[in-house]
Structure 1
Amino acid sequence: MGEQLPPCPQCAEAYTYEQGALLVCPMCGHEWTPADDTASEDRQESGGITDAVGNRLADGDTVSITKTVKIKGGGGGVIKAGTKVRGIRLISDGVGDHDIDANVPGFGRMQLKSSVVKKVAP
């Protein structure tokens, strides 16, 4: 038992255990991979989530899409560059490297990558 497991990123309890490839918290039931834990630590050390040009993002910000984004899945389509998205929410458990949850006009609720948005001044 030379390796110390990290505390739960949800509730910060130290009682985590390994279950296959996952780390599990028995206190709140949160499951995550060690790679997710490393990515969130890197984000915290770098000062949070930033947009395509390096501006720090926060919950509730308004952003604009910097390049045309193709939508995969159900209806398909594209979100055109310049589309404004209001009231974003930052997430740490997005699909892949998607770290923004937002309601995109004309498409509804979806997850976006911070690398394709630019913060709009209030």
Structure 2
Amino acid sequence: MSNVPACPQCTLENTYADGALMICADCGFEWAAGDADATTGVVVRDSNGNVLVAGDTVTVIKDLKVKGSSIPLKQGTVIRNIRLVEDDAEHIEGNSDKIKGLVLKTCFLRKA
């Protein structure tokens, strides 16, 4: 048997190499074979697949209603200095110019 690592997200061993990426057949998680973030299991990606890190600037790709606020986030709104949510690859925290304390899904964001 080859020395293929277990998936860092679901910890199952049903993984395979696809070029420079490792892919888990069970949960669909993808990571680079030498990726340092793969050991923690959290690689945060935007809607285009770009890796996001704390401190990045992102742009909202569609109008979003914000719970608890009458002001929507418009397409093109810039969120600066984002923070990653621990152990959650689908959410980031940040502030816009008008709304503070946002938690946003990464599928509605694009790296600026």
TM tier relative to shorter chain: 0.5 to 0.7
Ranges in structure 2 where 5+ consecutive residues have no aligned partner:
1-7, 11-26, 32-42
- TM superposition outliers: structure 1 runs of 4+ over 6 Å: none
> Aligned equivalents of 2:99 and 2:58: distance in 1?
16
Which amino acid in 1 is paired with 2:53?
A
Change (3 A) 1:93 1:72: farther
The answer as to whether partners of 2:44 and 2:90 remain within 8 angstroms in 1 is: no
For 2:104 and 2:62, locate their aligned partners in 1 and report how far apart those are by CA, in whole Å. Answer: 12
**What's the counterpart of residue 30 of structure 2?**
46
> Per-residue deviation at 1:106?
0.3
Which residue pairs with 1:55 in the alignment? Answer: 50
Q: Is the 8 A contact 1:49 1:56 kept in 2?
A: yes
Q: Counterparts of 1:72 and 1:98 in 2: how far apart (Å)?
A: 18
Indicate the residue corresponding to 2:86 in structure 1.
Answer: 92
Once superposed, what is the RMSD of the aligned Cα atoms? 2.3
Deviations 1:9-46 (A, max 9, x none): xxxxxxxxxxxxxxxxxxxxxxxxxxxxxxx8259x53
Distance 2:55 2:93 in 1: 11
Structure number with the higher helix fraction is: 1
8 Å contact kept, 1:98–1:111? no
Match of 1:81 among 75, 78, 84: 75
Counterparts of 1:67 and 1:113, CA distance in 2: 12
Residue 34 of structure 2 is matched in structure 1 by none
Q: Secondary structure at the match of 2:86?
A: coil
Q: Any idea what SS the aligned residue of 1:85 has?
A: strand
Report the identity percentage: 32
CA distance in 2, matches of 1:116, 1:64: 8
Distance 1:79 1:41 in 2: 31
Question: What does residue 15 of structure 2 align with?
Answer: none
**Which residue identity lines up with residue 41 of structure 1 in the other structure?**
Q
Q: CA deviation at 1:93?
A: 5.9
When normalised by structure 2's length, the TM-score is 0.60
